[in-house]
Each structure stands twice: as C-alpha cells, then as structure tokens.
Chains A and B, each alone.
Chain A
Amino acid sequence: MIDKQVISTALAVADIPDGACVMIGGFGEAGSPTELIHALIDQGAKNLTIINNNTGNGEIGLAALIGNGQVKKMICSYPRSRHSKIFPELYRAGKIELELVPQGTLAERIRAGGAGIPAFYTATTVGTQLADGKETRTIDGRDYVLEYGLQADYALIKCEYADLTGNLTYNKTARNFNPLMCMAANITIVQARKLVGPGAIDPEHVITPNIFVDHIVEISTPLIEADLIAENRRYP
C-alpha cells in the first residue's frame, strides 16, 4: 500500500538544497503551510527563490524565512500588506530581488508550468510597464503579452484532508494557489490537518489527485498566523 506520510516537518524538508526554487501555497495566511516554512527556517537552505502571492506577515512564516536571509528572490503579485514589514525593508535596502507578476498571470503561469505548457498569451498587462520587453502578438484584433510557465523544485502546501496515497481536499479560501503549485513542483510536500486512510476521501471530492503529491505530514492544530502577529511573536 502506498504511504506518503513523513513523521516530521524536519524530515519532510530535509532535502531542499541551497538555491532551490520553492513554491509556497497560501493567500495571506489562508492556506499557508506555516509549520513547513518554519521547518525550512530550521533547516537553513539559502539563496532560495520563493513563489507565493505575498511576502508574509509579521515575523513568522514566510516573513520569517525572508527575514532569516534565506531568500534571494521573490516572485509574487502583492509584496506588501498591513502587517508586512520585513520584505519592504530588505527590498528598499536592495537586499532581495522581486519579480512582480499580476495575480491571475501568476496563477496561470503556475498552472501552465504544471500542465506542460511552456508559455501562453494574455491581455493582462498590455499597455503597462509590466509588459515592457515582453513579446506581444495581436490575435483577432486584440493585443496580448507572452508569459512563460513557472515550475519549481519543491512546493510547500497546506491542505485539510490528505489520504495516505496523497489525494487532497482543502478548506474554504485556503485552497487558492495550493492545487496549482502541487502540479508545478518536482517534489510536493504537504501539511494536512487530518491524514486519513485510502478511500476515506470520496473520489468525487478529491481536489488534488495523488499523482501531484510526494510527502505528507499531519499537523492537526496548525498555527494561526493572525494570533501570533497579535502577540508580536516571531520565529524562531
């Protein structure tokens, strides 16, 4: 019987090397695999390229990974928010690279990467400075910009239910980028709130099929970032 369970977050992220490209699921804290990110901080891999919609909040999770000096480059759509301070400071100091990608283009680039589509045309960014230097093409009288698919060495994912074979379901708007990233990474590492036996998830309800999942850690009571931020907590 296939069993993709790993007993600890430390083991799950142990092989991520310096210089890796890592997709991290989540939109703000919803769907953020905070425990896996903290394990990556403990593990210490450096010069990482991170793909996430945002850049983390407070001094925990993704923000703490960036603050720990492990991230060379961020690919994201919205690198600032109310509680985000670490990335803005490093960016202004010229200590971190940023590739700014509109949110829908980011999602589609990840989906394309996972689906074996090297590039696609979109009307998003036409006539703006984010289209500067990009190939364009007129199709049926409308202008489009060429965007390339994104792939990663690893993806860190949070889900609700996982079965031991790697089938996943998600919780509400915590789904966001997670299913796309599962498809686009060479190795996909998942933290699940509940790990169940094969067959416990109705095949009709599976959101991410197990072919896209490699390792699963059960984290039954995940951290709530908003609470930690309210308490001014930091990691480590």
Chain B
Amino acid sequence: MAQLAASDIPDRSYVNLGIGLPELVAKYVPKGREFIYHTENGLLGMGPAPELGEEDPELINAGKKPVTTNPGASFFHHGDSFAMIRGGHIDVCVLGAMQVSQQGDLANWSTGTPDAIPAVGGAMDLIAGVKTIYVITQHTTKNGTPKLLEQCTYPLTGKGVVTRVYSNLAIIDVTSRGFQLRQLAPGITFQEVSDRTKASLMPLEQEP
C-alpha cells in the first residue's frame, strides 16, 4: 500500500505523512524522485529516524518520535507551519482512516463513544488545507467491518476531502459518482473487494 501510494506522488512534492501506516511511504520513494517532508510541529525537510543513541528530545515529528533533518531543512513556528498547510502549499497528505465515505468524507479522529477522550491534533487542518489527500488503511476493521461506506457513522474529520484510498485489497478513487476501482491487489477479485465495501463500487473501466 505504502509503495503504491509513494509511486503516485510526483517528484519534488511537499508531503505530510500521518502517524502509523502512512509513515511507511517514506521507505518507498521511487528511484529518481525526491519528496520534501513536512511535519506540522515545525520542520520541513524531515529525515529518517536517528541512530540509537543519537535521539534529540527537541528534534521530533508530529507523532513525538525522534527524527533527523535532511540537507536543506528548516525550522519554523506553528503559525508558519499551519500557514503552509492551510495556505495550500503542501501538495500531498497521506493519512490513516477509521472510515471513508463514497463522497470522500473522512473519519479518523474519534469513535464518538462517551468515554473517549476527544483528540484531533492537526488532522482537520491537514485535510482542509492540503491539495491531495490519500488514505492508507486496511480495507476492513480487525473484526471484518467495512471501513469504506455510503456514509461515515463516526464523527467526521472533514467532508469531501479524500482523493484516493490505498487498502490491502485495492486502490480506489473517490469520484463524483462514488467509489471507482483503480487497481486490485494481487490475487484479489473485484467481487471480494465489493463484498467488503459497504457502498457501491464501480469496476475497472474497460479499454475501448
């Protein structure tokens, strides 16, 4: 999933990767391409995790994990960092999801249960401001419940924002007509993906 997502990101893109699965995208940058990573806590040109023992508690990413800087990196405060996001300067954001609707609505910050501690971080700012939003997710939850739905049942992070979903079963575009299959994972059939999607899924368009 991460590799396929990475292959769809153009050279020299400014990219923000969410915490968890999306972080893997950085391991699969296609040869000949360079991405510049933004982390919303104030660093552009973020590099990989440091060697053991080289960690600096004042050089971290948005997940509060130690990182490094690449040549050409810069530090800035939160106001500037979110001006990059809100101002449409970040090209691509790759995020995880709890649910995605066929209209491109995303739910990934709260299950809405009464005892949950609501915590949103920068997710709502990112999806409102970044030009292209990719979602990387397992196609269903651990107990098999579909995550791609007609309507999200969890509280929304944003409406009509998701461009494309990379799941363990398929790559699916969110279009004005709903979910459009783009590519199947090896050994997976259209029917298997459709059965695990709680919304209508348009099959691959045949070449004329």
Contacts and interface: CB of A to CB of B under 8 A. Distances in A.
B118 A98 contact: yes
A98 B119 CA distance: 10
Interface string A50-77: 0000000000000000000000000001
B28 interface: no
B86 A172 contact: no
Nearest to A29: B57
Contacts, number: 141
A44 to B, nearest CB: 27
B58 A111 contact: no
B78 A176 contact: yes
Nearest to A183: B79
Interface in B89-145: 105, 115, 117-125, 128-129
Of A31, A88, A103, which is in contact with the most chain B CB atoms at under 10 Å from its CB? A103
B179 interface: no
A180 B76 CA distance: 11
Interface stretch (A8-16, A124-132, A148-156, A195-203): A124-132
A77 B115 CA distance: 17
Given A126-B159, A128-B156, A103 B78 contact: yes
B125 A103 contact: yes
Contacts of B64: 27-30, 81
B41 A176 contact: yes
Contacts of A106: 78
B159 A127 contact: yes
Interface in B15-67: 39-43, 56-60, 64
B120 A102 contact: yes
A77 B119 contact: yes
Contacts of B76: 175
Contact of B40 (A80, A104, A180): A104
B82 interface: yes
A235 interface: no
A92 interface: yes
Interface in A89-137: 91-92, 98, 100, 102-108, 110-111, 122-130
A124 B124 contact: yes
A130 B120 contact: yes
Contact of B78 (A100, A107, A127): A107
Given A78-B119, A124-B86, A176-B42, A102 B124 contact: yes
A100 B75 CA distance: 26
Interface residues of A, number: 49
A79 B117 contact: yes
B156 A127 contact: yes
Contacts of B41: 27, 30, 173, 176
Contact of A30 (B60, B86, B124): B60
B58 A123 contact: no
Given A92-B115, A107-B79, A172-B75, A77 B58 contact: no
Contacts of A166: none
A20 interface: no
Given A79-B117, A108-B79, A173-B41, 20 more contacts: A30-B41, A31-B58, A77-B120, A91-B117, A102-B125, A104-B78, A104-B86, A105-B125, A106-B78, A107-B81, A107-B82, A122-B128, A124-B129, A126-B158, A127-B105, A128-B124, A130-B120, A177-B78, A178-B77, A225-B57
23 contacts: A29-B64, A77-B122, A79-B117, A80-B119, A87-B117, A88-B117, A92-B117, A102-B123, A103-B78, A103-B82, A104-B40, A104-B125, A107-B82, A108-B79, A111-B79, A122-B128, A127-B158, A128-B124, A128-B158, A128-B159, A170-B75, A177-B78, A180-B79
